[in-house]
Amino acid sequence: MQSEQQYLSQYDPSQFEHPSVTVDILLFTIKDRKLQLLLIKRKEHPFIGKWAIPGGFLRMEESADEAAARRIREETGVKNIHLEQLYTFSSVNRDPRTRVLSIAYLATVPYGKLRFQAGEGADEAGLFAVDGVRGESVTARPEKELSAEAGTLVLTGTEGDVITGSDLAFDHEKIIRTAVQRMRGKLGYTDLAFGFVEDLSSFTLTELRIIHEAILDRSLDIGNFRRTIKREYEATGRIRERGLEKGAVGRPAMLYQLDRSSMRDLTAPF
């Protein structure tokens, strides 16, 4: 009988062919009261010239979480944001080069933190408002999702340029739909919305409501929203009043502060 030591020293990982593994990032932000997604224009084959979700190959010495965080830093200079795994896409022919798995991640970033890495070697990047995704449910099997539920995915760039889902590289249309549905589904029972707040130690309930409205793509009743948030967060001490806003138009709003120690899932490990 072989010992575990012997076994491990003789193990040859290259005896089978392995798929490539990439990490793809759905980086969302909220700007102009709309949910916007970061896309890059591909400079290489395949799908050269098409818009795509940024991503990169997983390195042997990093976990998928770490790879996702690294890619976000490389692309936008942003650290310390909410990041969560979305789904792993694994259809055999989703990449024309070879077998490529993609572990998709969902990132939420306040717009003010975004810095595009301009300059040499940087990809052309852009924010696109996302429209045309129906439904608020998290589906169990995104890769089998039928177009019944679909509608046309419309992405509107900052300069008003419009592309549709079928203009995207790879299976990225499907990935984006999955991400938007997931965000909507989780909005109600997680702290997801706080990932978009510009300053967690000083925000108004209106800012928070606008975030919810952007994600759900519908307007919410002001009074009911306040009541719900206050019950869920203020009553349990997870947000606290912090004084009045200054210098704004109209009646000054109460500023709130999130108790970071009570945060569920928002502190990233990097």
Partner DNA sequence: AGAATAGTGTCTTTCAGACAATATATG
Partner DNA sequence: CATATATTGTCTGAAAGACACTATTCT
Residue 230: in which H helix or E strand, if any? none
Segment interacting with a second copy (CB under 8 A) among 63-71, 109-117, 163-171, 251-259:
63-71
> Which one among 115, 221, 240, 264 touches DNA, defined by CB under 7 A?
221
Which one of DNA, a second copy, none is in contact with 222 (Cβ closer than 5 to 8 A by kind)? DNA
Q: Which of 144, 147, 76, 65 is nearest to 106 (CA)?
A: 65
| SS3 sequence of 151-195 | CCCEEEECCCCEEEHHHECCCHHHHHHHHHHHHHHHHCCCCHHHH
State yes or no: residue 46 binds a second copy (CB under 8 A): yes
Q: Which of 105, 29, 46 is nearest to 270 (CA)?
A: 105
State yes or no: residue 18 binds a second copy (CB under 8 A): yes
**52 or 187: whose CB is closer to DNA?**
187
Among residues 62, 74, 124, 149, the one annotated as catalytic is 124
CA dihedral of residues 7, 9, 10, 16 (deg, nearest 10): 100
Size of residue set near a second copy by CB under 8 A:
52
**86 or 255: whose CB is closer to a second copy?**
86
Segment interacting with a second copy (CB under 8 A) among 71-79, 96-104, 121-129, 238-246:
96-104
Please tell me the distance from the alpha carbon of residue 267 to that of residue 270, in angstroms, as a whole number.
9
**63 or 164: whose CB is closer to a second copy?**
63
Tell me whether residue 4 is one of the annotated catalytic residues: no
State yes or no: residue 137 binds a second copy (CB under 8 A): yes
State yes or no: residue 218 binds DNA (CB under 7 A): no
Interface with a second copy in residues 211-270 (CB under 8 A) = 264-265, 269
CA 264 → CA 80, 169, 191, 261, distances in Å?
14, 34, 7, 9
Segments of the chain assigned E as strands? 20-31, 34-41, 51-52, 55-57, 82-89, 100-108, 124-131, 154-157, 162-164, 239-244, 254-258
CB-based contact 178:184 (threshold 8 Å): no
69's tokens:
């965080």
Chain residues that interact with DNA, rule: CB under 7 A: 204-206, 221-224, 226-228, 231, 244, 247-254
The catalytic residues are 124
Chain residues that interact with a second copy, rule: CB under 8 A: 2, 4, 7-8, 11, 13, 16-21, 44-46, 48, 57-58, 60-65, 82-85, 87-88, 90-92, 96-99, 101, 103, 137-141, 143-144, 186, 189-190, 264-265, 269
